[in-house]
Every structure is written in C-alpha cells, then in structure tokens.
Amino acid sequence: ETGVTQTPRHLVMGMTNKKSLKCEQHLGHNAMYWYKQSAKKPLELMFVYSLEERVENNSVPSRFSPECPNSSHLFLHLHTLQPEDSALYLCASSQDPPSGGPNEQFFGPGTRLTVL
C-alpha cells in the first residue's frame, strides 16, 4: 500500500448504529486530518492530530470521536449520527511543521457515508 488509504469506501448506517472509519498513511508523516465534504460546500476541517496529539477539533459534535493510536493510523468513531451527517469523509496527512513551505496535505480516497 502507498499513500493514504481509507476503509470502508462506502458506509450506510442507521442513526442508532456505531461504526468507525479507518485511515492509514504510508508516507512517514507526523500529522493527520479528518475533513468532511458535503455537496457543493468547501472541505470542512474536523480534526487535526500532530505527533499523535489532537490540536484542533473545530467544534465538531461529540457524536464524532477521533482516535490516533500512532502516527500512521487515524480513526473516526461514529455514534448516533443524523441524516445531515451524510457526506464524504476525507483523511489527509502531512509533515508538520512544514519545512519552510505550505502544508501540502496528501488525501485518501474518502469514505462515502450515508445515514438513514
């Protein structure tokens, strides 16, 4: 595997279910991110982990719970979601702090989540 991988690629869940999204990066980066992309809207940053510590959560509802057990893996635990949470969830990684340049983030293919 190379780059950033995400599983599952598609997920359909009911509002009472508990599920988890998984992300793995094979780039040796030390920062990982969760983004939400809804149709016709900008990518919304949800969580940032740098050196396995959460540094930003952007007021995300508590029904989304991230976990970063090491610098290569990132999870997003989902619990009692709402239909409006249906979206594409993207994981990204980067080298933080950037070595004098912009924070070039490498993205996974995303998980398409549908909440019924």
**Binding interface with other proteins (CB under 8 A):** 4, 6, 40-43, 45, 48, 50, 55-56, 90, 92, 96-98, 101-110
Min. distance of Cβ 16 from other proteins in angstroms?
A: 29
Per DSSP, the three-state class of 11 is strand
Query: Is the CB of 75 or the CB of 80 nearer to other proteins?
Result: 75
Per DSSP, the three-state class of 58 is coil
Count CB neighbours of 94 within 10 A. Answer: 20
Min. distance of Cβ 96 from other proteins in angstroms?
A: 6
Min. distance of Cβ 26 from other proteins in angstroms?
A: 14
Query: Is the CB of 48 or the CB of 115 nearer to other proteins?
Result: 48
Query: Is the CB of 82 or the CB of 103 nearer to other proteins?
Result: 103
Nearest to 19 by CA among 78, 90, 84: 78
Which of 39-59 are b and which e, b meaning 16 or more Cβ less than 10 Å from the residue's Cβ? eeeeeeebbbbbeeeeeeeee
Reported residue count of the chain is 116
Min. distance of Cβ 42 from other proteins in angstroms?
A: 4
Query: Is the CB of 9 or the CB of 18 nearer to other proteins?
Result: 9
